[in-house]
């Protein structure tokens, strides 16, 4: 980190500022120019509040040279992290498909979809029990009953389950869940991130609707700082000025995240596009871009789905998608 001092700052002011930096365990490197003094700070500057420094009357500007995320940073962990979900590995060359309905609606729905996606090659079952809906009048999910049905689907198929947690108070209900999903709307719910960080369960962290890649990684850092390193990052599209699609899938986020972090990266082409016919091409593009997995919404009767029917594909369409994804993977690994 570099701090540029204002002109006319005295020697005493400079040295007391440097002493303060040293009390924070940082090494200080001063370079005095004809008009300006620059202080280089070496060490763990992640805990420094830039706003506080910039507010000091003797400082003109502050610039971070390295990223503020440490645990998630590839610089300090060169190898890919592999998240192991009861034997289902993701990351570091292990590719997985997470599939299932937006919401759990009934026992027959979740079992039918779970059995079908398993047959097509999905290795994890998704399904929302607690749903973050834009309108309070929309279906809010079957909640605790939805979790029970997901566990039943796991018992019948063996597929580990991924489901969204929205409220810290619901955590005891998630005892038997395999992967806790933190949805786009809660990506910056820092108290929730700290709590899932205290669990020993893998977390699927989705990018917020209007969040940068850096903010996404800082949210991963929150979970890691609380002790949980098993994080799968999910790109699910961001809000732009485009209106033909529900969101804009930021595919460059995949190689960018791989460069910045060692955590596995999956892509959700369903929420990214909002339209079922766009799911397959975007899934293939995501795989070609190097995604470690996909999260796809699959419904046995999309027209009557209680949530996100327009972007849900049928089990038959998922079967075709899975086949095409396999072919893309063969090409990129040949």
Instruction: Considering only residues 275 through 294, tell me which ones interact with ligand PEP, judged by CB under 6 A.
Output: none
User: How many CB atoms within 10 Å of residue 200?
Assistant: 7
Question: Can residue 105 be called a binding residue for Mn ion (CB under 5 A)?
Answer: no
User: Which span (10-18, 44-52, 182-190, 224-232) binds ligand PEP, by CB under 6 A?
Assistant: 182-190
Cβ atoms of residues 123 and 96 within 8 Å = yes
Question: Can residue 102 be called a binding residue for Mn ion (CB under 5 A)?
Answer: yes
Q: How far is the CB of 198 from ligand PEP (least distance, A)?
A: 22
For residue 313, the cross-strand partners are 298
| Among the listed residues 328, 322, 283, 334, the one whose alpha carbon sits nearest the alpha carbon of residue 116 | 322
| Among the listed residues 104, 200, 210, 121, the one whose alpha carbon sits nearest the alpha carbon of residue 159 | 121
User: Per-residue x/- mask for Mn ion, residues 262 to 301, rule CB under 5 A?
Assistant: ----------------------------------------
Question: Can residue 308 be called a binding residue for Mn ion (CB under 5 A)?
Answer: yes
Question: Can residue 183 be called a binding residue for ligand PEP (CB under 6 A)?
Answer: yes
Q: Which one of Mn ion, ligand PEP, none interacts with residue 236, CB within 5 to 8 A by kind?
A: ligand PEP
| Among the listed residues 256, 257, 282, 258, the one whose alpha carbon sits nearest the alpha carbon of residue 268 | 282
Q: Which one of Mn ion, ligand PEP, none interacts with residue 223, CB within 5 to 8 A by kind?
A: none
User: Per-residue x/- mask for ligand PEP, residues 144 to 173, rule CB under 6 A?
Assistant: ------------------------------
Angle subtended at Cα 191 by Cα 233 and Cα 179, rounded to the nearest 5 degrees: 40
Shorter beta-carbon distance to Mn ion: residue 90 or 104: 104
Give the tokens for residue 272.
Answer: 């990214």
Helices (H) and strands (E) in the chain, counts: 10, 14
Shorter beta-carbon distance to ligand PEP: residue 236 or 299: 236
Q: Give all strands (DSSP E) within 6-164, no chain letters.
A: 27-32, 37-42, 59-63, 83-85, 88-90, 96-100, 124-126, 161-164
User: Which positions lie near ligand PEP, rule CB under 6 A?
Assistant: 102, 128, 132, 183-185, 206, 236, 271
User: Which positions lie near Mn ion, rule CB under 5 A?
Assistant: 102, 308
């Amino acid at each position: 980190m570099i701090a540029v001092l204002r002109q006319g700052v005295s020697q005493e002011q400079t040295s007391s500022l440097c002493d303060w930096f040293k009390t924070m365990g940082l090494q200080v490197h001063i370079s005095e120019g004809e008009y300006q003094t620059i202080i280089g700070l070496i060490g763990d500057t992640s805990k420094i509040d830039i706003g506080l420094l910039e507010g000091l009357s003797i400082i003109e500007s502050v610039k971070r040279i390295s990223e503020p995320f440490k645990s998630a940073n590839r610089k300090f962990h060169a190898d890919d992290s592999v998240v192991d979900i009861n034997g289902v590995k993701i990351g570091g060359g292990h590719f997985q498909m997470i599939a299932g309905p937006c919401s759990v609606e009934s026992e027959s729905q979740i079992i039918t979809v779970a059995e079908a996606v398993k047959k097509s090659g999905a290795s994890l079952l998704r399904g929302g029990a607690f749903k973050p809906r834009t309108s309070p009048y929309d279906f809010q999910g079957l909640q605790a009953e939805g979790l029970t049905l997901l566990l039943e689907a796991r018992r019948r198929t063996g597929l580990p389950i991924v489901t969204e947690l929205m409220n810290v108070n619901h955590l005891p209900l998630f005892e038997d869940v395999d992967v806790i999903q933190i949805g786009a709307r809660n990506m910056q719910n820092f108290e929730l991130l700290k709590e899932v960080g205290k669990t020993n369960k893998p977390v699927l962290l989705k990018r917020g609707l209007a969040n940068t890649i850096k903010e996404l990684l800082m949210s991963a850092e929150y979970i890691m700082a609380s002790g949980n390193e098993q994080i799968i990052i999910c790109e699910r599209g961001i809000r732009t000025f485009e209106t033909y699609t529900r969101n804009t899938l930021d595919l460059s986020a995949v190689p960018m995240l791989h460069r910045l972090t060692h955590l596995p990266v999956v892509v959700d082409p369903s929420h990214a596009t909002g339209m079922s016919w766009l799911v397959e091409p975007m899934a293939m593009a995501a795989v070609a871009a190097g995604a470690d997995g996909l999260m796809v919404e699959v419904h046995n009767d999309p027209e009557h789905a209680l949530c996100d029917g327009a972007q849900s594909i049928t089990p038959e369409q998922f079967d075709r998608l899975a086949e095409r994804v396999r072919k893309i993977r063969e090409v990129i690994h040949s």
